[in-house]
Structure 1
Amino acid sequence: MQCCDCSDRNRRRWTSFLKSLAGATGDLSSLTAPSWILAPFSLTEFPSYWGEPKEMFAAIADGKTPEERQLLVTRWFLSTLSGQFTRREKETGSEKKPFNPFLGEQFLGSWDGGDLVLNVEQVSHHPPITAYSLENKKKGISLEGNCAQKTSFSARMISVKQVGHGLLRVKLADGSTETYLITLPKLKIEGLWTGKPYVELTETSYIQGSHGLTSTIKYSGAGWVSGTSHTHTTTITSGPGGPTLYTLTGTWTGETKFHKPSKDGKEGHVFLDASVDGMREKVTVRPIEEQGEHESRRAWKAVAEGILSGDYDAASQAKSALENAERQRRRDEQAAGKTFELRLFDKVPNDPEYKRLAHALKFKVRLGPWSALSFGRTSR
């Protein structure tokens, strides 16, 4: 989110919006925001960040041992964070709010001519939940998951709890499948009162492998007096509370290095440099005119064009038209006694694979009321 320019009018407009946030109660995830603080794309595009470091994603399947694959999964995960949480700030000067997806909205894309394929669907509107599937069939590796946000406003920041999880699966040479439970970090959006919001990650997320190894990622940032933005300390252990095999320290926007204790003499060596140009490749999608009516960029085309051209009145009108049409569809379904049917994903209640890996962490992973649901691989 950002102020459009430095004029007094826009500063007053921004301050007025923040005051409206301060007066709001409950979860702000479904907040209807004015178009001048919106990014020109939907939240359904966010799972594409998982696939952008496509070479690192594919390389996971090349690991020869569980320990090596745990390191490769951890490196890939850390490499996705900068694209997810700092790119928009670098490109536009501040963070902006993506569109709230409508129920059934889809985002379909690929890399390398279809070697790596992404399918995304908004599977719930209240609460808002996005399901995604990322698969490289040639390498035998896939990621499936769901994500929602619970958002609240305090005196100086917006706090966002990412609710959901991912399950990354790797087919091994012996025919078995190795699975990794990936939990999501919390984040806060600061810089609100200066009109230049930015994202900082907080608290802890985990990567739990079915072989028993655990990656624990603790995030920290710049405080009022000291600290460095976007920092993390990651430990890879033989299990929750078990002996430490590796410690990784650095920033998820720049260099991460091996640190004590370290095996194999790797102390001080660079584990990942997330700032390297060309490490991430944006997803490829079909031309808008070839997309289906439920695909995100086609559905939001008029809104995005208004934002990009600075015609916020046109953007607001197009946004209202789309949202009103979706509300009418829900009313028509209710009147006909129908419920919305998912087009790409199937609900899998009480997912035993998730439960087994979450139990391996030996404490309750707080993933919200949808943690017992996962969304099956695209089947239609």
Structure 2
Amino acid sequence: MRRVFSLFKNVRPGSDLTRFQFIAVVAWSISTTRPVIFGLAPFNPILGATHHVSNGTLNVLLEQVSHHPQVTALHATDEKRKLEMIWSQQIIPKFYGTSVEVVVHGKREMKLINHGENYVMNTPKLLIGFIPVPRTDWTGNVTIQCEESGLLAELCFTRKSFLGFGGSNRSVKGRIVDTSTKKTIYEVDGHWDSVVTIQDVMDKHETKAVIYNGKEALSKLKTPEVKDEKGLWTSESAVVWSEVSQSILKKDWAKAGEAKQEIREKERELVKERKSKGEDWVPKYFNISKANYSKEEVYECLPKQKLVPPAPIVCNTFL
């Protein structure tokens, strides 16, 4: 992000700082579209499963709040930097014979508390193709809006055509608009798995600034480490799937399959038990409600706690 400062040689409180913050959020949003590995997933979402991890002073908590449909909720807080993220993700697959389009419903919110700014954004669609070769791509339109600053980003994720002759592979293009004047102030261009740049439309002579380098960022990713085994919750995904993970690492596929089947059977028994008692499952860390968007019933998730506590699992990678 250092190169972004070239757009604001004398960053000062007010519009310059607000624009810089908005660009940083746009870059972060693009960075969440990671390359997806094509193949069979050894893990399935388990109702009530959690993942609790810390990165410096940023503490993140995820919970699987629904199984049918699949809904995951995220809450992240950084008390030192006065940052909060609330994110719900509901996947709805649509089958088209030669491909599967996964629509991701749910709202992402990032709050910069000290600045009184709230950024709201959506997620692109995931396209899984089977012919002529297996592939995965993020496609579709994403909007990022901050009502307090009056800034809006419109991004379009595209892929190559069916036969690979047209389009641009893993491309992201878009613009940042000042909604008060309805004028485009920056243009965004690049590839979300490599380099994304931004250009000031009022100064075409200004060098484009790199706001995200996917190859560099992904090369720095490290596996999170368990720093406090006793602090792990029984619902922690790393605990739930530990035997399956160990078997996969040992390439003992038969044992991995057996361990996975045991988890699924236990989940079915819990469902039967709740049904016999007339009980509904209630998320532990989130309140959920339902709303209708474009004729689809979509879950909205709000955290029950104000701050996410430090986690026993630590990630030391800073992007």
Q: CA deviation at 1:210?
A: 2.2
Show the counterpart of 1:109.
53
In structure 1, list runs of 5 or more residues that go unmatched: 1-52, 57-61, 351-363
Query: Quick one: distance in 1 between partners of 2:276 and 2:214?
Result: 51
In structure 2, list runs of 5 or more residues that go unmatched: 5-10, 309-319
Query: Quick one: distance in 2 between partners of 1:374 and 1:270?
Result: 34
Q: CA deviation at 1:310?
A: 2.7
Query: Quick one: distance in 2 between partners of 1:262 and 1:282?
Result: 42
1:222 partnered with 2:151? no
Show the counterpart of 2:297.
369
Deviation digits for residues 170-200 of structure 1 (CA, Å, limit 9, x no counterpart): 1125xxx211111010011225664xx4321
Show the counterpart of 1:179.
118
Show the counterpart of 1:165.
107
Deviation digits for residues 7-56 of structure 1 (CA, Å, limit 9, x no counterpart): xxxxxxxxxxxxxxxxxxxxxxxxxxxxxxxxxxxxxxxxxxxxxx9xx9
Show the counterpart of 1:77.
29
Query: Quick one: distance in 1 between partners of 2:127 and 2:12?
Result: 34
2:188 to 248, 257, 265: 248
8 A Cα contact 1:257 1:267, kept in partner: no
Show the counterpart of 1:334.
275
Query: Quick one: distance in 1 between partners of 2:79 and 2:204?
Result: 33
> Is the alpha carbon distance of 1:286 and 1:162 closer, same or farther for their aligned partners in structure 2, counting shifts above 3 Å?
farther
Show the counterpart of 1:319.
260
Three-state SS of the structure 2 residue aligned to 1:97 is coil
Q: Which amino acid aligns with 2:144?
A: I
> Is the alpha carbon distance of 1:323 and 1:378 closer, same or farther for their aligned partners in structure 2, counting shifts above 3 Å?
farther
Deviation digits for residues 136-174 of structure 1 (CA, Å, limit 9, x no counterpart): 11100111111011113333222111111111101125x
Taking only the aligned residue pairs, the percentage that are identical comes to 20
Deviation digits for residues 262-297 of structure 1 (CA, Å, limit 9, x no counterpart): 558545332322221555455444566652221111
Show the counterpart of 2:314.
none
> Is the alpha carbon distance of 1:68 and 1:236 closer, same or farther for their aligned partners in structure 2, counting shifts above 3 Å?
same
Q: CA deviation at 1:254?
A: 1.1
> Is the alpha carbon distance of 1:192 and 1:213 closer, same or farther for their aligned partners in structure 2, counting shifts above 3 Å?
same
TM-score scaled by structure 2? 0.80
Show the counterpart of 1:203.
140
Query: Quick one: distance in 1 between partners of 2:118 and 2:204?
Result: 26
Query: Quick one: distance in 2 between partners of 1:370 and 1:178?
Result: 25
Show the counterpart of 2:305.
378
Single out whichever of 210-219 and 335-344 deviates more from structure 2.
335-344
Three-state SS of the structure 1 residue aligned to 2:297 is coil
For these two proteins, the number of residue pairs brought into alignment is 292
8 A Cα contact 1:170 1:179, kept in partner: yes
Query: Quick one: distance in 2 between partners of 1:73 and 1:297?
Result: 29
Show the counterpart of 1:257.
197
8 A Cα contact 1:182 1:206, kept in partner: yes
> Is the alpha carbon distance of 1:116 and 1:95 closer, same or farther for their aligned partners in structure 2, counting shifts above 3 Å?
farther
Computed over aligned residues only, the root mean square deviation of the Cα atoms, in angstroms, reads 3.0
Q: CA deviation at 1:130?
A: 0.5
8 A Cα contact 1:110 1:284, kept in partner: no
Query: Quick one: distance in 2 between partners of 1:191 and 1:315?
Result: 26
Query: Quick one: distance in 2 between partners of 1:143 and 1:264?
Result: 34
8 A Cα contact 1:186 1:201, kept in partner: yes
> Is the alpha carbon distance of 1:344 and 1:374 closer, same or farther for their aligned partners in structure 2, counting shifts above 3 Å?
closer
Single out whichever of 259-268 and 70-79 deviates more from structure 2.
259-268
Three-state SS of the structure 2 residue aligned to 1:81 is coil
Structure with the higher helix share, 1 or 2: 1
> Is the alpha carbon distance of 1:123 and 1:116 closer, same or farther for their aligned partners in structure 2, counting shifts above 3 Å?
same
8 A Cα contact 2:290 2:298, kept in partner: no
1:189 to 128, 137, 141: 128
Query: Quick one: distance in 2 between partners of 1:72 and 1:63?
Result: 16
TM-score scaled by structure 1? 0.68
Query: Quick one: distance in 2 between partners of 1:144 and 1:164?
Result: 10
Query: Quick one: distance in 1 between partners of 2:285 and 2:220?
Result: 30
8 A Cα contact 2:24 2:211, kept in partner: no
Q: CA deviation at 1:241?
A: 9.5
User: After the TM superposition, which residues 123-134 of structure 1 pair with which residues of structure 2 at under 5 Å, given as runs?
Assistant: 123-134=65-76
Show the counterpart of 1:14.
none
Show the counterpart of 1:67.
19
Q: CA deviation at 1:81?
A: 1.9
8 A Cα contact 2:174 2:187, kept in partner: yes
Show the counterpart of 2:316.
none
Q: Which amino acid aligns with 2:30?
A: L
Query: Quick one: distance in 2 between partners of 1:303 and 1:161?
Result: 28
1:344 to 273, 281, 285: 285
Query: Quick one: distance in 2 between partners of 1:66 and 1:377?
Result: 30
1:272 partnered with 2:199? no
8 A Cα contact 2:33 2:138, kept in partner: no
Query: Quick one: distance in 1 between partners of 2:111 and 2:155?
Result: 20
> Is the alpha carbon distance of 1:123 and 1:367 closer, same or farther for their aligned partners in structure 2, counting shifts above 3 Å?
farther
> Is the alpha carbon distance of 1:334 and 1:286 closer, same or farther for their aligned partners in structure 2, counting shifts above 3 Å?
farther
